[in-house]
Structure 1
Amino acid sequence: MQPSKVYFSDLRAKPGLNLLQKLEKLAQIAGISDIDFKNKFVAIKIHFGEPGNLAYLRPNYARVIVELVKTFGGKPFLTDCNTLYVGRRKDALEHLDAAYENGYNPFSTACQLIIADGLKGTDEAYIPVRNGQYVKEAKIGRAIADADIIISLNHFKGHEMTGFGGAIKNLGMGCGSRAGKMEMHSAGKPQVNSKHCVGCAVCTKICAHAAINLTDKKAKIDHLKCVGCGRCIGMCAFDAINPPFDESFDILNAKMAEYTMAVLDNKPHFHLSLVIDVSPYCDCHAENDLPIVPDIGMFASFDPVALDRACADACNQAPVIPGSILSENLQAAKLQTETEFDRFAHTTHGTNWISTLEHAEKIGLGTQKYELIKVK
């Protein structure tokens, strides 16, 4: 396979050319206009940020891409799916409140915000995974599945399970419905926290396999009947039903790549990653730690695999920020900063980001080989 083209712009800004203008220029030179946007619904997948976290991408960046898509005649909307964990984005109402709180709204971004998997995270489409090894049919938020074109606008940063979060994390995990997220995170089936269960019986009514019953006014799941669809998780208003989060990191990474394949397969797509505020953990946290490396720049490509690899390589060539958790971990391991080491593996031990890209390459999602083209 030939190397994919990845375009890069640094973060230097001079009078007459600010960072937003540089982002538009980057997207244009990278070839976004090669896509036929005319009268097409365009899902711009982004992370709105968990309130309290200040490392997420500012809405100003999103507006640049929205306006560009409109110029080409497209119908853009910003989108994300509900979270699996308990937080401020687990249903569409709270999710939109969180987005507005973080500055994302139709006035600041010039387009509508749509929570792709609906009110409770159960509005999903089942999409076959080409070459899927672990997932045969991905559960994707319906609004994303219905879109004609996919654009990912990614905040590239560390992640406590996948090593880093980039294009594949934003698309694979981010586009999965709540049940889809459970499938990626879990090898097992949902469990009931009896302390939180109020015996409302809503879960017994939503279960299509009669796997849930009330015993002593508490829900009980029969794992012999349960198929692990996760719909009960989305329907529980009291967060009493939870996934086990028991999948190995490497299989989680592989499933995430396969979900990305389901999202992008047979659709035009384009990807942008901003390697700024490279926090050690996901923007799903309600806080962000000191970045582990300095701001690097903006990247764009039609290939999400090559894009993630280029961003990871750039981070691994960057100096470590003193006082960061990465710096502390290196000192504890008695490693010198000039020694070659993986920034993400030493930020969160046990993670293995390369397995994501290796599996993505294996199933035909893209290539790790890239040609880096600098845009001035």
Structure 2
Amino acid sequence: MEKSKVYFTNMRTTPTMNLQQKLTKLMKTAGMGDIDFENKYTAIKIHFGEPGNLAYLRPNYAKTVVDFIRAQGGKPFLTDCNTLYVGGRKNALDHLDSAYENGFSPFSTGCHVIIADGLKGTDDVEVPVTGGEYITNAKIGRAVMDADVVISLTHFKGHEATGFGGTFKNLGMGCGSRAGKMEMHSAGKPYVEQENCIGCGMCTRICAHDAAVVTDGKATIDHDKCVGCGRCIGICPKDAVCPASDESNLILNKKIVEYTKAIIDGRPNFHINIVVDVSPYCDCHAENDAPIVPNIGMFASFDPVAIDQACADAVNSQPVLENSLLAECCHEGHDHFGTIFPETDWTTTISHAKKLGMGNPEYELIEI
């Protein structure tokens, strides 16, 4: 198999070439302009950052991508889906507030923000996964599936469950609705935290299988009837319905890959990873720890497998920064992510994606 092309530019600038101009040059050289954007709705999948976290990508990067797509005649929008956990992005209203607070407004980025799975995270589409081992139909935010083109704009960083968060994490987990996120995180079925339940009955109304019942002012879920769709999680006004969150990290990675396959199959797609502020934890945290390695640069490719492999290789080749979580760990070998999170194995993502024919981990790195 021929090596995939991954394009790279570092973070150095000159008086005549700033970082946004370098990103534009990277996209052009990598062939993103070859996509037919004319009058095409284009979803730019990005993480808006949990309030309190400062490691997420600056909105200036998003504006550069938006301007590039508009120049090609496209109709871009920034998007993400609601979170499964309680935080600043669990419903569309809070999510939009968080995005605006962190600088992602139509005025700063040049396009609108659409929360893809709707107000409560229940507006999704079931998308078949060709060749999936764990997922038959992925539950993807409707606005993502309504788009004609998908662009991933990813902050590449560490992750406590998947090893690192790259293109696959940004797309697969990020575009899953709340029910989809539950499917990826859980081997079991949801349950009700009784102390938080107010007995409103919303879960009983949304359940198509009569699994949720309210007795003596408290809801319970009959797991013999429950099919694990997760819609009760999205509808609960008090976040009393919780996912099992008991899936192994290995299978979690594979499910994320299969969700990504559902998203990009049959549509033009392109991927940009920006490897700066490489925090050990996901941008979903309401805080960010010190970066574990120096800033590296920006990567772009049509191949999601190759770009994540290239970024992982780039991070693992870097020296460890003092006063970081990585520096505190007993470091053996050259896997920075495995050192911080020894119970994870990020290579599972790469190998499973290759197995499903999504790309090639063998790549040619072209520096511009």
TM-score range, shorter chain: over 0.9
Q: 1:40-74, CA deviations, whole angstroms, 9 ceiling, x for partnerless residues?
A: 00000000000000000000000000000000000
Q: Percent identity?
A: 64
- Give structure 2 stretches of 5+ with no counterpart: none
Q: 1:256-280, CA deviations, whole angstroms, 9 ceiling, x for partnerless residues?
A: 0000000000000000000000000
> What is the correspondence of 1:161-172 to structure 2 with a 5 Å cutoff?
161-172=161-172
1:348 aligns with 2:341: yes
- Deviation >3 Å, runs of 4+: none
Q: 1:217-256, CA deviations, whole angstroms, 9 ceiling, x for partnerless residues?
A: 1001000000000000000010100101100001000000
Q: 1:58-91, CA deviations, whole angstroms, 9 ceiling, x for partnerless residues?
A: 0000000000000000000000000001101000
> What is the correspondence of 1:330-369 to structure 2 with a 5 Å cutoff?
330=330, 335=331, 340-369=333-362
Q: TM-score, normalised by structure 2?
A: 0.99
- Give structure 1 stretches of 5+ with no counterpart: none
- The CA deviation at 1:320 is 0.4
RMSD over aligned Cα atoms: 0.6
- The CA deviation at 1:370 is 0.4
> What is the correspondence of 1:20-35 to structure 2 with a 5 Å cutoff?
20-35=20-35
CA distance in 2, matches of 1:202, 1:135: 27
Q: Secondary structure at the match of 1:77?
A: strand
- The CA deviation at 1:341 is 2.4
CA distance in 2, matches of 1:191, 1:35: 45
Residue type of the alignment partner of 1:31: G
1:300 aligns with 2:300: yes
1:247 aligns with 2:247: yes
1:149 aligns with 2:149: yes
CA distance in 2, matches of 1:342, 1:195: 42
Residue type of the alignment partner of 2:252: L
> What is the correspondence of 1:1-376 to structure 2 with a 5 Å cutoff?
1-330=1-330, 335=331, 340-375=333-368
CA distance in 1, matches of 2:356, 2:134: 11
Q: 1:298-327, CA deviations, whole angstroms, 9 ceiling, x for partnerless residues?
A: 000000110000000000000001111111
- The CA deviation at 1:166 is 0.5
Q: 1:114-152, CA deviations, whole angstroms, 9 ceiling, x for partnerless residues?
A: 000000000001110011110011000000001000000
CA distance in 2, matches of 1:227, 1:341: 42
- The CA deviation at 1:365 is 1.0
- The CA deviation at 1:216 is 1.6
Number of equivalences: 368
Question: Contact (CA 8 Å) 2:317, 2:334: kept in 1 or not?
Answer: no
Q: Secondary structure at the match of 1:267?
A: coil
CA distance in 2, matches of 1:274, 1:139: 27
Q: 1:175-200, CA deviations, whole angstroms, 9 ceiling, x for partnerless residues?
A: 00000000000000001000100111
- The CA deviation at 1:16 is 1.1
Question: Contact (CA 8 Å) 2:190, 2:242: kept in 1 or not?
Answer: yes
Residue type of the alignment partner of 1:346: T
Residue type of the alignment partner of 1:123: D
CA distance in 1, matches of 2:253, 2:191: 23
CA distance in 2, matches of 1:347, 1:96: 32
Q: Secondary structure at the match of 1:138?
A: strand
Residue type of the alignment partner of 2:144: I
CA distance in 2, matches of 1:255, 1:148: 24
